[in-house]
Amino acid sequence: MNTRQTVAEITRRLPDLRKRDVQEVFDVLVELWRAELARSDGAVHITGLGTLYVEVHPVRANGVVRQVLFRKYGLKAPVTLQRRSIRFRPYEALRRVMKEEKSNDE
C-alpha cells in the first residue's frame, strides 16, 4: 500500500474528510516520524502495529570503500563509518494477525 492508496482508503472510510485534508495530515505525520527517526535514539511506536526505529552500527571502512574515501578526503579519510539500519519490531497483536493470515494462505 502506498501513500495515495492510504489517503484514498482513509477518505473512503471517513467521507466527512476531504482528500486534501487527509493528505495534509499524512504529510505532517511523515514529517514528524522522519524527524524522530533521524535522531540517534529515535523510535516511532505505532499502536496495534509495533515500533519503527533506527539502529546505528560502526563499520570499519575497508577495501573499495576505503579507497573511495581516501580519494575523496585524502589523509583525513575516516577509518570507520556509521551504518544505519531501519528496524521494525511488531507488537504481539500484529504477530497474531500475521500468523492467522499465514494459516489461511496454506
Residue pLDDT, tens place only, 47-86: 999 999 999 889 999 999 999 999 999 999 999 998 889 9
Q: Using 50, 70 and 90 to split pLDDT, how confident is the model at 40?
A: confident
What's the pTM? Answer: 0.72
Q: Which residues pair with 84 in a beta bridge?
A: 56
Domain boundaries, the chain: 1-38
Write down the pLDDT at residue 104. 78
Distance CA(10)–CA(21), nearest Å, equals 11
**Nine-digit cell string for 26:** 499524512
Residue pLDDT, tens place only, 12-26: 999 999 999 999 999
**Nine-digit cell string for 59:** 563499520
- The answer to whether 64 and 49 have CB atoms below 8 angstroms apart is no
In whole angstroms, how far apart are CA 103 and each of 1, 49, 98? 22, 19, 9
Write down the pLDDT at residue 105. 75
